[in-house]
Structure 1
Amino acid sequence: MKGVLVLENGSRFSGELIGCVRKGYGEVVFHTGMTGYQEILTDPSYAEQIVVMTYPLIGNYGINGDDFEAKRPWLTGFVTGETCDFPSHFRQEQTLDQYLSEQGIVGLTGVNTRSLVKMIREEGSLKGYILPANLLADGEKFDFPALPRDLVRRVSTKQTYQHSVQGESHVVLVDFGAKENIAGALTRLGCRVTVVPADTEFEQIARLQPDGIMLSNGPGDPADCADLLPLIKRLATAYPLFGICLGHQLLAMSFGATTEKMRFGHRGSNHPVQDLRSGKVWITSQNHSYSVRREGFPAELVVTHKHVNDDSIEGVAHSVLPAFSVQFHPEACPGPQDAEALFHRFLALMNERKGSQLVTTI
């Protein structure tokens, strides 16, 4: 069936509908990764967004049951230049089309994604609809309302649960829309992981007796989570803390930083980030629309990483407290695994805290 992407600037991009035949509405953003479409589809950070894949052929290794980042997709549409109808991979269980249909997500393929992405880069992210082309023939009128706010509470877990029950260090993962692999990375490094809702109170977290706190990624404007900043600052004061993506922004905001929306964000698996302490450049996986401002940056925080292409802040650390964060996804490991060192740093901070507690007790 013929379909069309209608943008708020009046532009239209034609293609063939795949997945669930329905209307989808959201912020149209693009991702430059050649692979990883299954993880992208299930990343809660894409809530209320239509994702355009810049790599021309998507779906060639199908969908399997092991690589999901969440139990369900939160995006509202998926756009490709070409979709593979007959994937080939030993782990394949479904085609991309079958998965989108099952999950109620509309897709559009056969789109001139190069032209579409150039438009987004020039004008910034745009709101848009994916819909059957026959609705255009019926003369349907379009308005482009503001997208829902406070997406974090929509995607966050509703109850506390144990991701892993054994490990030398106990990490409480505050779920703002956490990718599964964050808890998985901690578990593989020997941590016991408890996942809690985004609005869990400090006293409830303290009763879990954590050795450290992980702040996860998540969707939307970090300003929507302003009410959580006192909690985050208190956690950073009490425990070793590591923030990723939205967690990075919220840690910085809790100590007085502000954020701003980027023109079209960073979404891809090959973003170069420089560690300002070592001078080394890492190749990172990223997915975010907002960044921490340099203007008014608080004195008690230190910038530890910057994006090589646009000089945006990619990492911060507290000057005294054992709290740090990065804008990118070290758990994703897009080929190179150098950013995994950040998890080892977090483990070292937790072990140091446990050691000091033991000395104090003795």
Structure 2
Amino acid sequence: MKGKLILENGKVFEGKIFGELADTVGEISFNTGMTGYQEMLTDPANHGMMIAMTYPMIGNYGINTEDMESDKVQLRALIIKEDAKLPNNFRCEMTLDGFLRQYNVTGFKGIDTRYLTQIVRDNGSMKAIITAEDLTKKEIQERFKNFSNKNAVAEVSSKEVYEIAGGEKRVGVIDLGVKNSTLNYIKDAGFTVVVFPYNTKAEDILAQNLSALVVSNGPGNPEDLVETQNTIKELAGKMPIFGEVLGLQVIALAFGGKTAKLKYGHRGGYPIKNLATGKVVITSQNASYVVEEIPAGFEMTHQGINVKTIEGMKNEALKIVGVQYMPDLYKDSKDVFENFLKLV
């Protein structure tokens, strides 16, 4: 079905709507990965987002039920140049189009996504509408005005405490939008995982007899998560704490640091440097915000290559470590997470 992608800056792209044939609105950004589209679609950190893929063909190895990072598609819309009609992989169970239809998510295709990426790169992330209608300027502005992603973490976080049985030692996870792969990584490392809602109080976490705590990645602005910041402050020094992306940002705010919104986010493969070893590795990233100022008592451990962003920090006295990337996905970037779990 023919449709339009309308950007907040007034630019309009004409293409085709696929998946769920419905109008939608969200915040648009882009992802530079060549693979991993299913993980990206189901990652809770993308809740409320429209993501444009820079790689020209998406869906060539299909979709399977094993690689879900949550129980549904989290995006508002997926924007691509072309979808693969005949995916070819022994694990393929359905097409990209069928997957989007199953979870009532809109797709948009048939445009130059690299040109769209240039616009977002130059102008920053912005709101966008996908529609088959001829909207008036007033209708467009009303749809932009009515969209908000402020409660994203509350919408994706678990609603109650639950356990994933593993080893004798117990590692807690504050769920800001945790991925299944993160939970599985901790479990496979030999720990029982205890998952907490984002607004769990410190005393309830301490009652679980944990050996360590992980603060997960997730969507939205870390400044909105005041309850989580207060909990981390109370737990500091009582157990080792690891922060992943949004978790890192929340930890920084809890101790007086500052965060800022990235112009267009970092999504896809991104090079970072380990300041202790000098080693540069490619990391998997999915972030809208970044730590702008490290709090007192912390030191920077990793830094971005393309942009000199703060990519990691630690406080040895409090046994707190955090990174701006997803350390459980790429082999070369797992060392910081592995070292933390070895410490536990």
TM-score past 0.5 threshold: yes
Q: Which residue of 1 aligns with 2:125?
A: 125
Partners of 2:289 and 2:108 in 1: CA distance = 26
Where do 4+ consecutive residues of structure 1 move more than 4 Å?
137-140
Summarize the Cα distance change of 1:139–1:27 in structure 2 as closer, same or farther, 3 Å threshold.
closer
Supply the AA of the counterpart residue of 2:335: A
Are 2:324 and 1:327 equivalent residues in the alignment?
Answer: yes
Partners of 1:166 and 1:39 in 2: CA distance = 24
Partners of 1:213 and 1:221 in 2: CA distance = 21
Per-residue deviation, 1:319: 3.9
Does the Cα contact within 8 Å between 1:221 and 1:290 map onto a contact in 2? yes
Per-residue deviation, 1:139: 8.3
Aligned to 2:158, what secondary structure does the other structure show? coil
Are 2:341 and 1:347 equivalent residues in the alignment?
Answer: yes
Per-residue deviation, 1:137: 7.3
Q: Which residue of 2 aligns with 1:188?
A: 188
Partners of 1:226 and 1:240 in 2: CA distance = 20
Q: Which residue of 2 aligns with 1:16?
A: 16
Q: What is the number of equivalent residue pairs in this alignment?
A: 341
Deviations 1:303-344 (A, max 9, x none): 1111011110000101411111000001111xxx12211222
Q: Which residue of 1 aligns with 2:83?
A: 83
Partners of 1:123 and 1:203 in 2: CA distance = 44
Per-residue deviation, 1:148: 3.0
Partners of 2:295 and 2:77 in 1: CA distance = 38
Q: Which residue of 1 aligns with 2:148?
A: 147
RMSD: 1.4
Q: Which residue of 2 aligns with 1:276?
A: 275
Per-residue deviation, 1:228: 2.0
Aligned to 2:322, what secondary structure does the other structure show? strand
Partners of 2:51 and 2:169 in 1: CA distance = 37
Where structure 2 has 5 or more consecutive residues not aligned to the other structure, the ranges are none
Per-residue deviation, 1:140: 7.7
Are 2:304 and 1:310 equivalent residues in the alignment?
Answer: no
Are 2:307 and 1:300 equivalent residues in the alignment?
Answer: no
Does the Cα contact within 8 Å between 2:268 and 2:284 map onto a contact in 1? yes
Does the Cα contact within 8 Å between 2:166 and 2:188 map onto a contact in 1? no
Alignment TM-score, normalising by the size of structure 2: 0.96
Partners of 1:219 and 1:346 in 2: CA distance = 24
Which shifted more, 46-55 or 143-152? Answer: 143-152
Deviations 1:258-298 (A, max 9, x none): 101111111012x111111111111100011111113xx32
Supply the AA of the counterpart residue of 2:119: M
Partners of 2:27 and 2:135 in 1: CA distance = 24
Does the Cα contact within 8 Å between 2:255 and 2:296 map onto a contact in 1? no
Supply the AA of the counterpart residue of 1:288: A
Does the Cα contact within 8 Å between 1:186 and 1:343 map onto a contact in 2? no
Per-residue deviation, 1:14: 1.4
Per-residue deviation, 1:206: 1.2
Does the Cα contact within 8 Å between 1:58 and 1:83 map onto a contact in 2? yes
Identical-residue share of aligned pairs (%): 39
Summarize the Cα distance change of 1:250–1:139 in structure 2 as closer, same or farther, 3 Å threshold.
closer
Where structure 1 has 5 or more consecutive residues not aligned to the other structure, the ranges are 351-362
Q: Which residue of 2 aligns with 1:286?
A: 285
Partners of 2:260 and 2:342 in 1: CA distance = 32
Does the Cα contact within 8 Å between 1:302 and 1:319 map onto a contact in 2? no
Are 2:214 and 1:214 equivalent residues in the alignment?
Answer: yes
Per-residue deviation, 1:233: 1.6
Which shifted more, 143-152 or 54-63? Answer: 143-152
Aligned to 1:154, what secondary structure does the other structure show? helix
Does the Cα contact within 8 Å between 1:173 and 1:213 map onto a contact in 2? yes
Partners of 2:48 and 2:185 in 1: CA distance = 27
Q: Which residue of 1 aligns with 2:233?
A: 233
Does the Cα contact within 8 Å between 1:150 and 1:225 map onto a contact in 2? no
Deviations 1:141-172 (A, max 9, x none): 31121523131111001111112x12142101
Deviations 1:23-57 (A, max 9, x none): 11100000000000000000011111101000000
Supply the AA of the counterpart residue of 2:177: G
Partners of 1:116 and 1:55 in 2: CA distance = 12
Does the Cα contact within 8 Å between 1:14 and 1:111 map onto a contact in 2? yes
Aligned to 1:17, what secondary structure does the other structure show? strand
Per-residue deviation, 1:138: 8.1
Deviations 1:219-248 (A, max 9, x none): 001111023211012222211111101001
Deviations 1:84-128 (A, max 9, x none): 111111111110000101101000011110110000010001100
Partners of 1:325 and 1:3 in 2: CA distance = 42
Supply the AA of the counterpart residue of 1:148: N
Aligned to 2:6, what secondary structure does the other structure show? strand
